[in-house]
């Protein structure tokens, strides 16, 4: 064990010396806010009910950041705290450095704060990464350097994405060029770093990109509307999303090609199929020509 890992064990043991049922529940809840289940709820909520543009940006930066996190984890291959040294309350099997929970918290809530510059969003951009990062130490899932690395990598991904988005804002691509970008970029990323996490992230990126292109040309739904309609959108869209997720997992084989297809279809549904359904069911309107 390295000196850095030994120091990390001492930090974790000190934090866990305050363990009690309340903190177990609190930090378990905070850590759950950094899981795939939470993002499956949060990203569609933003895209379907709050802002299509913000939802698209949030999906892109999150998926790209998660892909990068997987690459860095596999490159370093550093261990997590072992159960014979600390209480491991949240077992994980992937490499420890950098913490995906910590990184994704910085990316997600940092993007929200950059998009909606309000006191509440700015507070969340600070408190959520801190709380989620601390939860990973309390639960024995990460060393302190894993969490610090996740925060720093998340900040770098977020700043680079915001810079790139501003540079690309005025860029106009033809249909063929745009189609090539949304399909070839994810496939290239997958070829560079194949793996279970990369299959998921790149498939969702491809489905998201193609779905947005189709939605802008064929649907053009208006995210505005009464709160009740927005809530019904979220419930209906999420119900179909859950059915697709479970149904495709049962129907399709577990090999990487079909796993890619499954997540690709989920991304396509979220950005194109669901908006089409909302308009057909009267839960959203089409954008007027003046609002384009």
Residues labelled catalytic = 101, 142
Q: What is the DSSP string of the chain?
A: --HHHHHHHHHHHHHHTT--HHHHHHHHHHHHTTSHHHHHHHHHHIIIII-HHHHHHHHHHHHHHHHHHHHHHHHH-PPPPPTTTS--SS---S--SS-HHHHHHHHHHHHHHHHS--HHHHHHHHHHHHHHHHHHHHTTS--HHHHHHHHHHHHHHHHHHHHHHHHHTT----HHHHHHHHHHHHHHHHHHS-SHHHHHHHHHHHHHHHHHHHHHHHT-EE----HHHHHHHHHHHHHHHHHHHHHHHHHS-SSHHHHHHHHHHHHHIIIIIHHHHHHHTTSSEEPPGGG-
């Amino acid at each position: 064990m390295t000196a850095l890992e030994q120091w990390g064990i001492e930090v974790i043991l000190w934090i866990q010396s305050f363990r009690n049922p309340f903190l177990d529940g609190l930090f378990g809840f905070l850590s759950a806010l950094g899981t795939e289940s939470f993002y499956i709820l949060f990203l569609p909520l933003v895209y379907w009910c709050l802002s299509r543009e913000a939802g698209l940006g949030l999906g892109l930066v999150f998926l790209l950041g998660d892909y990068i996190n997987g690459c860095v984890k596999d490159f370093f291959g550093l261990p997590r705290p072992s159960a014979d040294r600390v209480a491991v309350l949240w077992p994980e099997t992937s490499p420890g450095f950098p913490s995906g929970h910590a990184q994704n918290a910085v990316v997600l809530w940092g993007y929200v704060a950059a998009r909606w510059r309000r006191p509440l969003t700015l507070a969340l951009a600070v408190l959520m990464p801190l709380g989620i990062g601390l939860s990973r130490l309390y639960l024995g899932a990460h060393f302190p350097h894993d969490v610090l690395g996740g925060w720093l990598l998340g900040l770098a991904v977020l700043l680079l994405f915001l810079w790139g988005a501003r540079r690309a804002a005025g860029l106009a691509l033809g249909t063929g060029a745009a189609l090539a970008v949304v399909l070839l970029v994810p496939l290239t990323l997958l070829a560079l770093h194949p793996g279970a996490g990369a299959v998921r992230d790149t498939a969702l990126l491809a489905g998201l990109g193609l779905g947005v292109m189709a939605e802008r040309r064929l649907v053009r739904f208006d995210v505005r509307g009464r709160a009740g309609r927005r809530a019904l959108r979220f419930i209906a869209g999420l119900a179909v999303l859950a059915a697709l997720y479970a149904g495709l997992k049962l129907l399709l084989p577990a090999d990487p090609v079909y796993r890619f297809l499954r997540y690709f279809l989920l991304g396509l549904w979220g950005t194109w199929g669901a908006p089409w359904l909302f308009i057909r069911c009267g839960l959203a309107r089409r954008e007027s020509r003046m609002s384009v």
